[in-house]
Structure 1
Amino acid sequence: MEFTEFLLLQFLAHLLADYFFQTNKMAHQKNTLGFKSRLLPLHILIVFACSWLLSFQIEFFVGAGIIAILHYIIDGFKATITTHKTLWKYAFFADQILHLVVLVAVSCLFASYHGLQPLWDIPFSANGIAIVIAYLCCLKPANIVIKEVFRSSQIDVAIAKQEKAEILDGADELPNAGKLIGILERTLALTFILIGQYQAVGFLIAAKSILRYKDTDTLKTEYVLIGTMLSFGIAVVLGILAGVL
């Protein structure tokens, strides 16, 4: 196993533990209660299990333990940053950056001092793992990142007020439709980039532009435009990174 493959597997473990195996209730308790959250230990156990299992090495038991312990400390203090008057905007991004720094540091130290000796050779190359990660990132993680960008910019406050007014007026929309549309457009854009059909990505963006709001609805139009740019931007960056590896 090459170090790149090992590091990508650890990043995959982080994605699974922090996004797909973590429920909304877990995340809410962690963000509001910190160390007092009763579900935080369960989340840390999942982090440890994913990290250890995807290392394919029994000896990484210690490394996975260090990652889990530091994950516990970072998540425990996240509640303090989340409730801070100014730093709350950066809580999510600081949290993820710290997790990734820990992941990279522990992986480098383990590879340097112990070496990489998996129980068996995995049937995937670094490129294959990167593609799997890219598609997973297009799902729940991308939705959360876009949501946090809106939240940190306080854009969602204004749009939420407008949506509330529309619901009261009877202009209700399909719930969660935006999330599904975002997932579909990112998945398609990523697929087109990976197979080299870049012009098809432009076609997708043009097709998305068919969506129109009434002329006076500038707030929501800008909201959709920002979300679309972020969504396609994420897919493009993921496609380029996956292609490089």
Structure 2
Amino acid sequence: MGFQEFIVLQFLAHVLADYFLQTNALANQKNTLGFKSRFLIWHTLIVFVTSWLLSFQIEFFIGSGVIAISHYFIDGIKAKYNNHSILKKSIFFIDQGLHILVLIIVSWLFTEYHGLKFIIELPIDANTIGIITAYLFCLKPTNILIKEVFKSSEIDVAITNMDIDTSLDTNELPNAGKLIGILERLLTLTFILVGQYAAVGFLIAAKSILRYKDTDTLKTEYVLIGTMLSFGTAVLLGILTSFF
């Protein structure tokens, strides 16, 4: 295994630590209180452990430490700018961009000046790890990403607690829209990876028939934007994974 497998494993560690190994309530507490949040310390520890374990490098504990400490300061400072008049629209993307930038730089420096010495030889390559990461990203991370896009675009809806992939109809099943969004992304990613692009078009058409019958313009536009973002993310993930 080489640098490709190593960097993709670190991306996987980031996705797990920042999205799956913290609840929404704890994440909101961290984003609100910043350095005063007790969970921020635990989150930093989680980042360190996932980064180190998935590096499969005993000596990378220093690199994982740098990634974790930078994560601590970035998340702590982020809380101060969540309500900033200018930066609040893009603070999520700045936060994630800085995390990924640090991850790439630390991984490259470690590989360049220390070299890679995997403690075990994984039976999978970078492409397989990338596919696993892409599927995971189609779940909770994309839901959060779409919500942040709506927030940054100042698309305010009447019901702020609704999941982005749902319509505004409160008579619908709770969380049904979120589940629909996850399923459509998983199917879209699968179709892209196996080269069945026509099936993606069929899936979009099928959802259009079922979801766009309402005459409420606000509701239709809301669902349309969420759907395009959902499908677009899955398609982009599929193309990037297939390309690399």
Tell me which interval the TM-score lies in, with the shorter structure as reference length. Answer: over 0.9
| Counterpart residue number, 1:240 | 239
Matched to 1:195, the amino acid is: V
Q: CA deviation at 1:171?
A: 5.1
**More deviation in 170-179 or 21-30?**
170-179
Q: Superposed, which structure 2 residues align to 1:42-121 within 5 Å?
A: 42-121=42-121
Q: CA deviation at 1:159?
A: 3.8
| Counterpart residue number, 1:2 | 2
What is the alpha-carbon distance in structure 2 between the residues aligned to residue 131 and residue 171 of structure 1?
Answer: 35
Q: CA deviation at 1:26?
A: 1.9
Q: 1:80 to 1:112 in 2, by over 3 A?
A: same
Long gaps (5+) in structure 2: 163-168
Q: 1:159 to 1:213 in 2, by over 3 A?
A: farther
What is the alpha-carbon distance in structure 2 between the residues aligned to residue 158 and residue 188 of structure 1?
Answer: 28
What is the alpha-carbon distance in structure 2 between the residues aligned to residue 172 and residue 9 of structure 1?
Answer: 42
What is the alpha-carbon distance in structure 1 between the residues aligned to residue 61 and residue 135 of structure 2?
Answer: 28
| Counterpart residue number, 1:220 | 219
2:143 corresponds to 1:143:
yes
Match of 2:157, SS? helix
Identity of aligned residues (%): 66
Q: CA deviation at 1:222?
A: 0.2
What is the alpha-carbon distance in structure 1 between the residues aligned to residue 68 and residue 170 of structure 2?
Answer: 46
Q: CA deviation at 1:4?
A: 0.8
What is the alpha-carbon distance in structure 2 between the residues aligned to residue 212 and residue 5 of structure 1?
Answer: 42
Matched to 2:173, the amino acid is: L
- Give yes or no for contact 1:213–1:220 (8 Å, CA) kept in 2: no
| Counterpart residue number, 1:131 | 131
| Counterpart residue number, 1:166 | none
- Give yes or no for contact 1:8–1:126 (8 Å, CA) kept in 2: yes
| Counterpart residue number, 2:195 | 196
Q: CA deviation at 1:212?
A: 2.6
What is the alpha-carbon distance in structure 2 between the residues aligned to residue 2 and residue 57 of structure 1?
Answer: 12
2:231 corresponds to 1:229:
no
2:12 corresponds to 1:12:
yes
Match of 1:110, SS? helix
What is the alpha-carbon distance in structure 1 between the residues aligned to residue 27 and residue 205 of structure 2?
Answer: 36
**Could you say what the CA RMSD is over the residues aligned between the two structures, in angstroms?**
1.3
- Give yes or no for contact 1:48–1:65 (8 Å, CA) kept in 2: yes
What is the alpha-carbon distance in structure 2 between the residues aligned to residue 40 and residue 17 of structure 1?
Answer: 12
What is the alpha-carbon distance in structure 1 between the residues aligned to residue 122 and residue 170 of structure 2?
Answer: 52
**More deviation in 78-87 or 53-62?**
78-87
- Give yes or no for contact 1:186–1:231 (8 Å, CA) kept in 2: yes
Q: CA deviation at 1:76?
A: 0.2
Alignment deviations for residues 214-244 of structure 1 (CA, whole Å, 9 cap, x no partner): 32x1001000100111011001110011111
Q: 1:154 to 1:213 in 2, by over 3 A?
A: farther
2:151 corresponds to 1:158:
no
- Give yes or no for contact 1:159–1:220 (8 Å, CA) kept in 2: no
**More deviation in 182-191 or 25-34?**
25-34
| TM-score, normalization by structure 1 | 0.93
| Counterpart residue number, 2:27 | 27
Number of corresponding residues: 236
Matched to 2:198, the amino acid is: Q
- Give yes or no for contact 1:31–1:79 (8 Å, CA) kept in 2: yes
2:183 corresponds to 1:184:
yes
